[in-house]
Structure 1
Amino acid sequence: MTAAARHPENIIKLDGVTSDKLDLHADVEDITKQVKVFDAIYFTAGSRGKDLIQTDAMGAIKTMMAAEKAGVKRYIMLSSMLSLDVDSWKKIPGLEDYLAAKFFADTYLMNSTNLEYTILQPTNLTEEAGTGKIKLDAGPTNSNPIPDVAKTLAKF
């Protein structure tokens, strides 16, 4: 398994996992060269609001395009609750632009690719210890620890 990030030095060291640098601002051809050895792509990148268009939206879309060109069949997207429910975005003030970026990436995956996909839309992610459980209610005050969401993603 390969974990790729813009800062691979920050990837947690795990047995059986190698780290690699992946630039989501690169062109699709360069990304295609990197992903051609993958069986699946898990897209979990996020700009934390600093680069929503180029990372959260286009970064995801470029990895989808690269996956198809490289023959990668499976794509797992970490999205956000309510990303596809535009009328509900107002329930989460301050996240409208983030949800718009996720909307475009999710919609592209569903409607413009032939990839086998899973989209996980968790509630707010928190940087706290995992509980071994996730909350499925999309209430605006619900949250899930990142380790629990990561374990859920791994099941896909």
Structure 2
Amino acid sequence: MENILVAGANGTTGKKIVNLLNESQYFNPIAMVRKEAQVAYFKAKNIETVIADLEQDVSVAFNNTIDKVVFAAGSGGKKVVEVDQEGAKRLIDASNKNKVKKFVMLSSMGADHPEQAEQLQAYLKAKHNADEYLKSSGLNYSIVRPGSLTNGELTNKIELETKLNKSGEISRNDVAQTLVSTLNDDIANKTTFEILQGDTLIADALNTLSPINA
């Protein structure tokens, strides 16, 4: 089984990702949390944790072998440069140093052109900078850009394009499932794509992606 480090594991979407990985026969989740108090939730499920702060040195998160990384952390708009941008860069650098096989970035629709956004421009700029840093890092990556997140049920269906040219919503459950599916070796390598709720099974939608797409 591959060890998957999940940054932002204590977040709403992060917990869903970790739980999906924990149910998988292929992946072993390692929940990266910022505080000791956040460990108990995962310990109760026998899920391995590591305490590391994205605003500081994150090398401790790689003390054990890490095969792949999911970046699902977010500052909630409070520290977009420190966490969403620079924190992502720190984790990308550490992933490179430790020869991680794939880095899956939870980004956001609108991060390709943050200057065009009417809202959340600072957040989208930070996500844009993190995405571009990942693309130029030399790592294998997938950058996933969902629309507005909801707390809806898992449908296991999405609409996916490299650029959808429209706005919309998608449930955190479907985003989490997409991110976990993207961890597979032959899916969405060096690819950036957008997702919304839709009618195509996640696996089928991901299979439409070409191997390399900027």
Normalised to the residue count of structure 1, the TM-score between the two structures is: 0.83
- 1:85 and 2:81 correspond: no
User: Contact 1:135 / 1:143 at 8 angstroms: preserved in 2?
Assistant: no
Report Cα offsets for 1:15-64 as digits up to 9, x if no partner: 6732332210112xxx1232252101100001110110111000100000
2:169 partner letter = S
Q: Which runs of 5+ in 2 are unaligned?
A: 1-28, 183-214
- 1:68 and 2:93 correspond: no
1:106 partner letter = D
Distance 2:157 2:46 in 1: 25
- 1:23 and 2:53 correspond: yes
Q: Tell me which residue corresponds to 2:202.
A: none
Name the count of aligned residue pairs: 148
Report Cα offsets for 1:83-108 as digits up to 9, x if no partner: 1124532xxx2211110000000010
Report Cα offsets for 1:68-88 as digits up to 9, x if no partner: 112223101000012112453
Query: In angstroms, what is the RMSD of aligned CA positions?
Result: 2.2
Mapping of residues 2-41 of structure 1, within 5 Å: 2-7=30-35, 8-9=38-39, 17-27=47-57, 31-36=58-63, 37-41=65-69
Q: Percent identity?
A: 33
- 1:52 and 2:80 correspond: yes
User: Contact 1:32 / 1:70 at 8 angstroms: preserved in 2?
Assistant: no
Distance 1:120 1:44 in 2: 10
SS state at 1:121 partner: strand
Among residues 69, 94, 97, which one is paired with 2:122 in the alignment?
A: 97
Distance 2:176 2:116 in 1: 25
Report Cα offsets for 1:117-155 as digits up to 9, x if no partner: 000011111223322222444533x11111110001000
Post-superposition shift, 1:66?
A: 0.6
Q: Which runs of 5+ in 1 are unaligned?
A: none
Normalised to the residue count of structure 2, the TM-score between the two structures is: 0.62
Structure holding more strand per residue: 2
